[in-house]
Amino acid sequence: MPLSAYRDSDRTQTAFAKELELNGSPEEKAGRFYCQSPECSASMIFVVSSSSHCAHFRALPSVPHTENCVYGRFSEYDPNKFDERSFDFKNFIQYLDQEQKTPNQQTAGCGSEGLNQNKKPLTTLHQVYGMLKNHDPKERLGGQKVSSMLLDDRSFDEYYDHFYGSHIIEAKVIDRWSFAEERTVPNGVQLNSLEIPERQKYYSKLHLTLRVKGKAIIFSVCFKDAELFETLKNQIKGSNTDYKAFDKPFVVVAGNWKLVPGTHHHYTTVVKNKKQIFCF
Ligand SMILES: [Zn+2]
């Protein structure tokens, strides 16, 4: 349920569903819109709010999202259910890294508590990703720009040459190369910087890629927990036996990212627990 879309094929003018509902002319509301995903060819229409959903954009069944567009697969987020105003990205990332059950939430701004009474805090990566995908990359949530929290096809250019620190990423598995059991290299600087336990002889790695307009970023996700890696691998593959076919090819990872030494556009992180990753 995207809350924003583009008015033009060059994707320079953003249309926000909420704003369009309040101030748009009938002609504007009846117009065709473009998907937020830069390479998606879906033709979108504006849908007014109702008792079950807020105003949003939807792809026409006759011109749907392309296979690589996540909006075709991931659309179940409903902003009316969640307290977006009290979301704090730093707290959330910290919480994913720890054993604690629910993240600390900032209290909402002055005078807004009553409005947020029935809204739940965002506590899972799935919910937070849903929120970020349904807002324009330039919008601010909890004081931070959406694009500064999520690296996806919309913020790709911003991060292509320089990506570092705590972020959520969205990427895809490629083929069987995506799943690797690699031997720990004793003198590997890369491994030391990734905090892989020294005594561990093998570690599991998931290689992902994000491709936009012929350019690609590679992500190598290292797992401390081999069981978690296996579970995720099975979810991604499903019952497919063909090495290029996947049930759930999109993977979302929240981590502390670093450049793989000696490479370009290749970043890595360590996943410690299942709160940090999911596929769809
Ligand atoms: Zn799309």
Note the pLDDT tens digit of each residue in 191-221: 444 555 444 555 788 999 999 999 999 999 9
Q: Give 160 Cα–ligand 1 centroid separation in angstroms.
A: 21
Q: Distance between CA atoms of 135 and 2, rounded to whole angstroms?
A: 7
- Ligand 1 centroid–CA 42 distance in Å is 5
Give the residue, 163 or 245, on which the prediction is more confident: 163
pLDDT beyond 90 at 45 = yes
Query: 147-183 as b/e, with b when 16 or more CB fall inside 10 Å?
Result: bebbbbbbbbeebbeebeebbbbbbbbbeeebbeeee
The pTM of the full predicted model, rounded to 2 decimals, is 0.85
The pLDDT confidence band at residue 107, using thresholds 50, 70 and 90, is very low
Confidence of residue 25 (pLDDT cuts 50, 70, 90): very high
Least confident range from 4-8, 52-56, 92-96, 189-193: namely 189-193
Average pLDDT, the chain: 85
CA distance 199 to 11: 50
CA 71 / ligand 1 centre spacing (Å): 5
Question: Separation of 37 CA from ligand 1 center, angstroms?
Answer: 5
Under 8 Å between Cβ of 274 and 228? yes
In order of their start, the domains of the chain are: 4-69 (no CATH), 79-148 (no CATH), 152-279 (2.40.50.140)
Q: Which residues pair with 165 in a beta bridge?
A: 257
DSSP state of 121: P
